[in-house]
Amino acid sequence: MLDVSALPQAARSDRSGTPPRRTFAIISHPDAGKTTLTEKLLLFGGAIQMAGQVRARGDRRRTRSDWLDIERARGISVTSSVMTFEHDGIVFNLLDTPGHADFSEDTYRTLSAVDAAVMVIDAAKGIESQTRKLFEVCRLRDIPIITFINKIDREGHDPLALLDEISSGLALDLTLLTWPLGMGVDFRGILDVGGRKLLLPAKDLKDAFGRTEPVASIETISHPAIEERIAQPALESLALCLSDLPGFDAKAFREGHLSPVIFGSALKDFGVAELLDCLARWAPGALPRKTTGRVVEPDEKDVTGFVFKVQANMDPNHRDRVAFVRLCSGRFRRGMKLFNAREGKMMNIAAPIFFFAQQRETIDEAFPGDIIGIPNHGTLRVGDTLTEGEALRFVGIPNFAPEVLRRVVLEDAMRAKQLNRALGDLAEEGVVQIFRPRDGGWPVLGAVGALQFDVLTSRLAQEYGVAIRLESAPYETARWVMSDKPDAVARFCASNRSSIADDNASDLVFLARNAWALSRAIEEWPDLKFVDVKERH
Ligand code: G4P
């Protein structure tokens, strides 16, 4: 018997009457179905009239956020975009993360701006490498995660095996929201465990499946309506699953320990409405955010926010630079003046932008959890905090130690000055990291994924008229050197002259020739910390 008494009720109102927001990202490995699910969420959310408007078939990977030529050339989405839609009185802000295997720090920073994540897993593949990486970032920040096991209309792994793989592979507790009634050719629909509904394909559609409709409200899993449709083993698996898995616990979910699981098919519209409902009911609204000094609560009166991304040339006709700001508190109004704590200056926010599907619309006000775009000419940098005057700095917008390092070679030596300025700008934007060796050699560039270098080379040529070549660097890895013992730092630098560099924020970096050199340094210099994640300042 399915116990439905403990099911949570809708929790639509956030604290202090702030209009409810659900700011989330979808994390997945390429091809798991993120784009399809995004499209369907926008469709269910009413942001678009019909699927395919986000991207035409065959053109899908290009239509959504192809602001850079490089994306068009490769037919992939490199940058993150923001999509906002309203459904059932709730504003959903969906922050897109790049789905390509080669990804940048952008992806990680996008996750610093969300309050929840949807993890899409291909039922035939299980957990894949990029899902795992992104999941680890969410875990670091205790972001609540909803698991969407996609493509159940195709042959996939056994549902129980999938649940087991996710919970043991990611050390995550799971609870069941929907259960597949067969998979692949045997797929008949899904069971909405919480809503006690069978969701079956509407029969009157020409398409084999079409939109789903609840055909029956059921009280128990032994109801004949279900038994008719599920083969006995599947029914036993479900019973086992329900007895083994914990029930839904809103607190555990919000703390990031318990993930509700939806078996669905983005393509065939199964589980999408349940996902939207789950986000609306249980995902948190704007969460409090830590600063260096104090925690900022979303219901504070004064406006605060931070820049998690800067994107240049989003519109080639305007050559603009847009800073993406996550609002953390207060009620933002167009025309406000905000204080940039890093620069110690006020700035006028005359034309803030909301991102509504493909259109960029000018807005009058925004609330905690919302993302606004602020066009500017390079005054705003990733990691900047905006307030109404208080000197705050939000934390949690990290730099990651690069996994690939390259040395820059300038084709035309006369353009060294332009190169330096351009690299400084693009490093601020987070396109790559720049390390300037203290021994005076060419700058060394670092990236989390090699694709970032293509983006950099193309932008240097197009936006700054600087042609470069990239050579392999004599280093394999980089670490920031931290210590409260300046003497030890000075001695370390003196004895490792050719491996010492400064990053764009003038922080000390050790460029290690290989893993062995790094472990030797760690062993020999116990007073120093060699860190691979650095907070931006
Ligand atoms: P991504 O953004 O995560 O990279 O994945 P995307 O949505 O582009 O989906 C990758 C492929 O998987 C697409 O097929 C898409 O149609 C398919 N797909 C997504 N969700 C489902 C699902 O629930 N069931 C099934 N059966 N397929 C699904 P494609 O052949 O690469 O593209 P297309 O030719 O269909 O456009």
- Residue 55 Cα distances to 38, 83, 93, 346, angstroms: 11, 14, 19, 39
DSSP-derived letter for residue 497 is G
What's the CA-to-centroid distance between 55 and ligand 1, angstroms?
12
115: closest CA among 385, 374, 371, 400?
A: 371
- Chain-centre distance for alpha carbon 43: 21
32 close to ligand 1 (CB < 6 Angstrom): yes
Nearest-atom index, ligand 1, CA of 99? 4
Residue with tokens 């950099």: 456
CB-based contacts of 244: which residues, under 8 Å, 6+ apart? none
* 471-527 pLDDT tens trace: 999 999 999 999 999 999 999 999 999 999 999 888 999 999 999 999 999 999 999
What gap in Å lies between CA 378 and CA 41, rounded to an integer? 34
Q: Is the pLDDT of residue 126 over 80?
A: yes
What's the CA-to-centroid distance between 207 and ligand 1, angstroms?
17
Give the mutation target among 27, 34, 35, 36 for probing the ligand 1 site: most ligand atoms within 8 A of CB.
36
In the structure, what pLDDT confidence band is assigned to residue 314 with cuts at 50, 70 and 90?
Answer: low
Q: What are phi and psi of 173, to 5 degrees?
A: -75, 145
pLDDT at residue 527, rounded to an integer: 96
pTM, entire model: 0.79
pLDDT at residue 144, rounded to an integer: 97
What's the CA-to-centroid distance between 265 and ligand 1, angstroms?
10
What's the CA-to-centroid distance between 157 and ligand 1, angstroms?
17
DSSP-derived letter for residue 46 is T
β-bridge mates for residue 409, sequence order: 469
- Residue 150 Cα distances to 124, 147, 157, 174, angstroms: 9, 9, 11, 16
What percent of the chain stands above pLDDT 70?
Answer: 77
Tell the residue nearest (CA) to atom 15 of ligand 1. Answer: 33
pLDDT at residue 430, rounded to an integer: 76
Tell the residue nearest (CA) to atom 29 of ligand 1. Answer: 31
119 close to ligand 1 (CB < 6 Angstrom): no
Domains defined along the chain, listed by start: 4-282 (3.40.50.300), 289-387 (3.40.50.300), 398-535 (3.30.70.3280)
30 close to ligand 1 (CB < 6 Angstrom): yes
What gap in Å lies between CA 111 and CA 304, rounded to an integer? 18
**Do 363 and 339 contact (CB within 8 A), yes or no?**
no
Give the mutation target among 26, 27, 31, 207 for probing the ligand 1 site: most ligand atoms within 8 A of CB.
31
Tell the residue nearest (CA) to atom 34 of ligand 1. Answer: 58
pLDDT at residue 463, rounded to an integer: 83
* 135-191 pLDDT tens trace: 988 888 889 999 999 999 999 999 999 999 999 999 999 999 998 888 888 887 888
DSSP string of 309-328?
A: EEEE-SSTTTT-EEEEEEEE
Half-sphere exposure of 164 (CA within 13 A, CB side): 9
- Residue 348 Cα distances to 121, 332, 366, 388, angstroms: 43, 12, 16, 11
In the structure, what pLDDT confidence band is assigned to residue 426 with cuts at 50, 70 and 90?
Answer: confident
Most confident stretch, 43-47, 147-151, 212-216: 147-151
pLDDT at residue 205, rounded to an integer: 35
Q: Is the pLDDT of residue 79 over 50?
A: no
Nearest-atom index, ligand 1, CA of 39? 7
330 close to ligand 1 (CB < 6 Angstrom): no
In the structure, what pLDDT confidence band is assigned to residue 447 with cuts at 50, 70 and 90?
Answer: confident
What's the CA-to-centroid distance between 31 and ligand 1, angstroms?
6
97 close to ligand 1 (CB < 6 Angstrom): no
**146 against 101, higher pLDDT:** 146
361 close to ligand 1 (CB < 6 Angstrom): no
Nearest-atom index, ligand 1, CA of 154? 26
What's the CA-to-centroid distance between 85 and ligand 1, angstroms?
22
Burial of 400 (0-12, 13-18, 19+ CB in 10 A): middle
What gap in Å lies between CA 43 and CA 386, rounded to an integer? 33
What gap in Å lies between CA 82 and CA 534, rounded to an integer? 25
In the structure, what pLDDT confidence band is assigned to residue 342 with cuts at 50, 70 and 90?
Answer: confident
In the structure, what pLDDT confidence band is assigned to residue 89 with cuts at 50, 70 and 90?
Answer: confident
93: closest CA among 27, 40, 21?
A: 21
> What's the rounded mean pLDDT across residues 95-121?
79
